[in-house]
Amino acid sequence: MKGMVNLLTQRSPRPVTLVIMDGVGFREDELGNAVAAAFTPNLDTLLASCPYRLLNAHGTAVGLPSDSDMGNSEVGHNALGAGRLYPQGARLVNEAVQTGAIFEGNAWRRLVGYCFQHGATMHFIGLLSDGAVHSHIKHLEAMLDQLAFKEKLPRARVHILLDGRDVGATSALEYVSRLESRLQSLNAQAGVDYRIAGGGGRMKITMDRYEANWGMVELGWKTHVGAQGRRFASAEAAINAFRAEEPGIIDQDLPPFVIEDEAGNALGPIRDGDSVVFYNFRGDRAIEISRAFEEPDFSHFPRTPYPKVLYAGMMEYDTELHIPGNFLVEPPHIEHTLGEYLCSGNMRQMAISETQKYGHVTYFWNGNRSGKIDEKLEDYFEIASDIIPFEQRPWMKAADITDKTVEAILSKRYDFIRLNYPNGDMVGHTGVFSAARIAVETVDLCLGRLMAATRKAGGILLVTADHGNAEEMFEIDSKTHKPKLYPSGEIRAKTAHTLNPVWFIVFDPTGENSVEFNPKIAKPGLTNVAPTIMQLLGVEPPQIYDPPLLLFKQ
């Protein structure tokens, strides 16, 4: 990257600070809108007095297959840091499945061959939904079809992680029924033995991220590998039992379960000689379970049992550390990120969030790259997240993030600071409206402190988000435009991300930059943010980037 940055003649105020209000989108309708319902005097002041524009943060604007695909934090931060569009996981896997390339690759051939060599079982572990954020059920179905009809492998087992986060909060049985029908059809038509082995809620087992709670992964290991846990005759029976025991529980929080046969034997423990596919395509919640299967020197929990298997992920979840060693689909290769350009221009940067989103402002922002780009020019700060249901503490670690960021702004040590407040997203996923409102108010309170520090330091503050969530907390009937209700009469909570745009606000209290948004950019999106940051830093954006958003007035 040396020599690739051209400095403009007019240097701008420092630092430029980017606030990512994770999961805080814009929606005019106030019904179920925790953002509109929240007391947000600082956000209101910014919107009343500063130039701003709405950005697309979902679908094709962030590299997903279609505009019916909700945005998510992974692709959102990729787009923010990359400055231009890259096809993302769901789209890449869709194409690989449609063309058959996924089944022609070496990884798939090795997995199948390993099973035949040992007379063993193929296991599939992953999120069972069509949310298309971490996985898609159609990818699992395509692999099962291929395995039964083309490969003619006699035995397979599926370990299901229940969603309720990227799809309806209590929609698990829809996907279980769909999968059970598919398995029964394959068993009847192809003469194979394919069944669900067990599973649990995604926020209870297996899908931890950023090493926030290795206990989740350990519990997943015991469930998937050791077949240890509460036994049921079917996944449906397990889900119904848990719901009866704890009314109101949502799918992501359902306890783990193991399916047993008529004789009381577990249907699918993972054993020596088996092959295992983790079929999620998104990386953050797939890395830890991949490490558990692959790392020889592993110390986070006792792997008992520890069978000798061949493991593969849907994608390479960490392209720098090469996790996992085997994967079915090539991930996007993101190069020349904003961080790289700024480092090549000798600019100091800081990134900060709490554990839940720390990897987003570092790993995903840097194009799925672990570690720093330049140790001398970058400081990354991780505030440890509390291990507690987010609706019980909706303020999370926002104050701690703000303390450190205010200190950094006033120090004038950095050219560019980026931070993520996870509250709108993590609390929004709980489906608890009152908690989501507090989460948004927490972020707003912190914005006020950042505005004051920016004013004192003579810097610039940019406020945006990676996708929507908290602004749409109810499932709305498309015909009546009223909330959907449970049989009990309670409003059906929406826990998934949204298709709504996000704000991009420019707060420049110095008055040194009189700016307006370029009207020629008809449909701006998150990819326009990186070149805009370069504008404000006095750096000429590279030609490979999407156009910057601003015009500078005389």
Nearest C-alpha neighbor of 134 from the set 112, 158, 108, 160: 160
Q: Are 419 and 351 in contact (CB under 8 A)?
A: yes
With a CB cutoff of 8 Å and minimum separation 6, the contacts of 517 are: 51, 53, 524, 549, 550, 551
Nearest C-alpha neighbor of 60 from the set 96, 23, 87: 87
Cβ-based neighbour number of residue 187 at 10 Å: 14
Q: What value does the CA radius of gyration of the chain take, rounded to a whole number of Å?
A: 24
Distance between CA atoms of 541 and 11, rounded to whole angstroms?
14
Sheet holding 16-21, edge to edge: 52-55, 502-507, 460-464, 16-21, 416-421, 349-354, 378-383
- Please state the φ and ψ torsions of residue 29, each to the nearest 5 degrees: -65, 130
Q: Which of these is catalytic: 12, 73, 129, 275?
A: 73
**Length of the chain in terms of residues written:** 554
Place of tokens 């999120």: 127
Q: Are 256 and 199 in contact (CB under 8 A)?
A: yes
* Element at 183 (helix H, strand E): helix 172-190
Distances in Å between the Cα of 124 and the Cα atoms of 94, 154, 326, 544 are 18, 14, 14, 39
Distance between CA atoms of 197 and 220, rounded to whole angstroms?
13
- The yes-or-no answer on residue 73 being catalytic is yes
Distance between CA atoms of 453 and 408, rounded to whole angstroms?
9
Catalytic residue numbers read: 73
